[in-house]
Homo-oligomer: A and B are copies of this chain.
Amino acid sequence: MTASSSARAAFGASMPHLDAASSEPLYRQVRAHIADAIASGVFDAPGRALPSSRHLATEFGISRNTVELAYQELIAQGIVESRPRSGLYATDRLPRRTTTKAPPTGPATTMDWGRRTRCRPQDDLPHAAKVVDWHEYPYPFVGGQIDADTFPVKAWLRALGEAHEPPHLHYSLRDSLDRDDPLLLEAICVEVLRARGITADPSQILITSGAQQGLFLVAQALLDRSSVVGVENPGYLDAWHIFSRAGATLMPMPVDQFGASIPAAPPRLDIAYVTPGHQHPTNVTMHPARRRELLELAERTDAVIIEDDYDSEFRFSGRPTRPLKAMESAGRVIYLGTFSKFLAPGLRLGFIVADAELIDILRDQRRYLIRHPPGQLQRALALFIMQGEYHRQLRRLRTQFKQKWDIAWANADRHLPWPVGTGPTGGLSLWLTGPARLDAAVLARRAAKHGVLVEAGEGFFLGPHRTRNNVRLGFTSINERAIPRGIEILGGVARTLLAERPD
């Protein structure tokens, strides 16, 4: 029997259907189909090998990588084994079905959890529509993700290894209740914050499970149903959800080329949430005059400022700007930092810098949420920073991102059917404004079918006045070499789309 007919025999008369539009990634669908075939007993005959990934890829009409990933997982689970110089075989780990479908395991649930849920969020904000399996696309211009090639695997594993030796091992393993790793707090004060012009001591820092947990903790502590939070518009959707779920009303602050515009005298303002380093999503750096205006407004209204500084160090012309936190000493600014852009978002490590009194309040809350972010990641990051690897990685990324940034702008200028202008001075994405008749959501959907993932700008707007002609191209996730071709394809799709809808 040839491998190809073996594949067909395994799956019955016709190959199972793969749904490319499903939220379930392709390789998982393939994996499920293989597991299904194994469970049905087709491969139980002695010496009966599973179809090779090459043949399955041809039969399914997908890439061989996808099939290999499916097999990798099945091997890791012990469902499939690889015999050297022979091929892949089903083990007996997966119970075989005697009927085609497994019977249900018990009566259906009668609980109606929707009815039981008390604190259902009331907001009608959209959720950020992110593609989780962006790495299966050849041209992923998505925000907030990193190209695995840029991750310093060796240095990070070395730090993790050291974190598992005495005297560090104890700190990696212990339940520290509400405390953080003292070494990481020191490392952040000395190596991370000083370079940004911020003076802080360990009592003013709390480690968070991503900057997002920082937002949650501050919102939970300082907001209630009477609160008003000023937010940049367009802005960071996840933050809006968090404020809104804490009961607050959102007050949009429109963004122009100088950053968020500062309202004159709102009747009430509890928190102003800003991204002054590079505004999310437009990458505009907040002008010094605006910064002063914002600090004055906060003082006048007795409001607190949350400064979300996720990437101010990635400025490609001129020096990085000074954080708001370094411009005032009253303690009015709560500063959020993250290691997602320097290392990886999957690490889930960020930090809050604020007055020690507030940090204590937030620490007490965190104790009953998660206790503390994992000890071994805290200790490994501390060692990584102290050994100079953080600054090395920062320098490496700055060079790499600058290159990608230049390539992306040059290709956008060459391939997109509208003038792209010069752009701001930094940031990790391109925020592009097409002609007024461009529907970027349609562009994004169509481009995805050609393997190009971009984000429609519409989703970053609050309220009814959403511009539909913005498109965002993140470049931290895509490999440098893929950028030109990706933008060329996007340009082609955009040209066709615009031709369908002339002015």
Residues in chain A within 8 A of chain B (CB atoms): 28, 68-69, 72-73, 76-78, 105-107, 109-111, 113-114, 116-119, 121, 128, 130, 132, 135, 144-146, 148, 151, 153, 156-157, 160-161, 164, 166-167, 169-177, 179, 182-183, 186-187, 190, 199, 209-210, 212-213, 216, 220-224, 227, 238, 241-242, 245, 304, 329-332, 340, 344-349, 355, 357-358, 361, 364, 368-377, 382-383, 386-387
Contact = CB atoms under 8 A, between A and B. Distances in A.
9 contacts: A76-B387, A109-B355, A113-B357, A113-B358, A113-B361, A135-B174, A157-B161, A176-B346, A210-B371
Contact of A212 (B78, B164, B371): B371
A106 B201 CA distance: 13
A161 B164 CA distance: 13
Contacts of A161: 157
A72 B167 contact: yes
A88 to B, nearest CB: 16
Nearest to A330: B110
Contacts of A113: 355, 357-358, 361
Contacts of A151: 169, 173
Contact of A177 (B132, B164, B170, B357): B132
Nearest to A116: B222
A368 B146 contact: no
Nearest to A69: B167
B169 A153 contact: yes
A372 B370 CA distance: 12
A159 to B, nearest CB: 11
Contact of A329 (B105, B132, B222, B344): B105
Nearest to A186: B77
A237 to B, nearest CB: 11
A154 to B, nearest CB: 9
Number of this chain's copies in the complex = 2
Contact of A330 (B111, B114, B364, B383): B111
Contacts of A372: 348
Contacts of A221: 116-119
Contacts of A223: 118
Contact of A77 (B187, B345, B346): B187
Please list the 4 inter-chain residue pairs (A to B) with the smallest Cβ-Cβ separation, ordered nearest first.
A106-B329, A346-B375, A175-B345, A109-B331
A172 B344 contact: yes
A109 B224 contact: no
A343 to B, nearest CB: 8
Contacts of A242: 368
A111 B370 contact: no
B76 A383 contact: yes
B210 A370 contact: yes
B117 A361 contact: yes
B358 A374 contact: no
Contacts of A355: 109, 111, 113
A28 B329 CA distance: 28
Nearest to A131: B177
Contact of A107 (B160, B330, B340): B330
Nearest to A105: B199
Given A216-B368, A370-B209, A386 B132 contact: no
Contacts of A227: 118
Contacts of A330: 107, 109-111
Nearest to A387: B76
A113 B110 CA distance: 45
A376 B357 contact: no
Contacts of A175: 130, 144-145, 340, 345-346
Contact of A183 (B73, B212, B348): B73
